[in-house]
Amino acid sequence: MTSLQPDQLRELESLYRSAHEGRVRVRALAVLLAAEEHRNVAEIARIIRHHQETVRRWLHRYLQRGIEGLQDAPRPGAPTKATPQYRAELRRALEHHPHELGLPYDHWTARHLADHLEARTGLKLSEASIYRLLRQHSPQDF
C-alpha cells in the first residue's frame, strides 16, 4: 500500500476509535496496519483473522473511495420505521424511570417501550425493532 498523508492517517485513526460497527473498525485497522506498519496482506489477514482476499478488497476499496469505502454497503430490506422523532422519544423515555412518566411499570422492557412510544408517536414497532435500536446505538445517538 502506498504511504498515506498525516491527515489520512488521523482520519483512519478517528474512524477506528469511533466506529460503532465492529466491521468498520476492523477494516480501518487493516488499512492502518498496511499504511503505518507496512504489513502485507497475508500478515494483516492473519492478525485480524480474515481471508486474504477480503483484506485485499478492503484495501482496494479504501484506495478507490477513501473512508467511505470502508463503510458497510446499504443492506436490502425495508428502511427503518424509526423516525428522528421516534428516536428522540426513545431517548427521552430512557432518561426517565417509567413512574416519572406516569406509567405503572417498575422498569423498561422492550414491550413497555414499544407501547409507550406508539402512544407518543403513533408508530408501532415490534419488540425486536426496539432491541435492534438499543443494540445499534448508544443513548446519545437516538
pLDDT (tens digit, 9 = 90+) per residue, 55-113? 999 999 999 999 999 998 887 888 888 998 999 999 999 999 999 999 999 999 999 99
Residue type, position 100, single letter: E
Q: What is the percent of the chain where pLDDT is above 90?
A: 79
Query: Angle at Cα 34 formed by Cα 7 and Cα 43, nearest 5°?
Result: 160
Considering the chain, what is the average pLDDT of its residues?
A: 92
pLDDT at site 138: 61
DSSP assignment, residue 106?
Answer: S
Instruction: Give me 125's grid cell.
Output: 414497532
How far apart CA 42 and CA 56 sit, in angstroms, is 9
Decide if 117 contacts 90 (C-beta within 8 A).
Answer: yes
Query: Angle at Cα 117 formed by Cα 114 and Cα 122, nearest 5°?
Result: 110
DSSP secondary structure, 2-13, as one string = ----HHHHHHHH
Judge whether residue 47 has pLDDT over 60.
Answer: yes
Name the nearest CA neighbour of 19 among 81, 67, 73, 90. 67
Judge whether residue 140 has pLDDT over 60.
Answer: no
**For residue 123, how many C-alpha atoms fall within 13 Å in the half-sphere facing its CB?**
18
Judge whether residue 142 has pLDDT over 60.
Answer: no
pTM of the predicted model as reported, rounded to 2 decimal places: 0.58
pLDDT at site 34: 96
pLDDT at site 135: 86
Residue in the block written with cell 502506498? 2
**Res. 119 pLDDT band, cuts 50 70 90:** very high
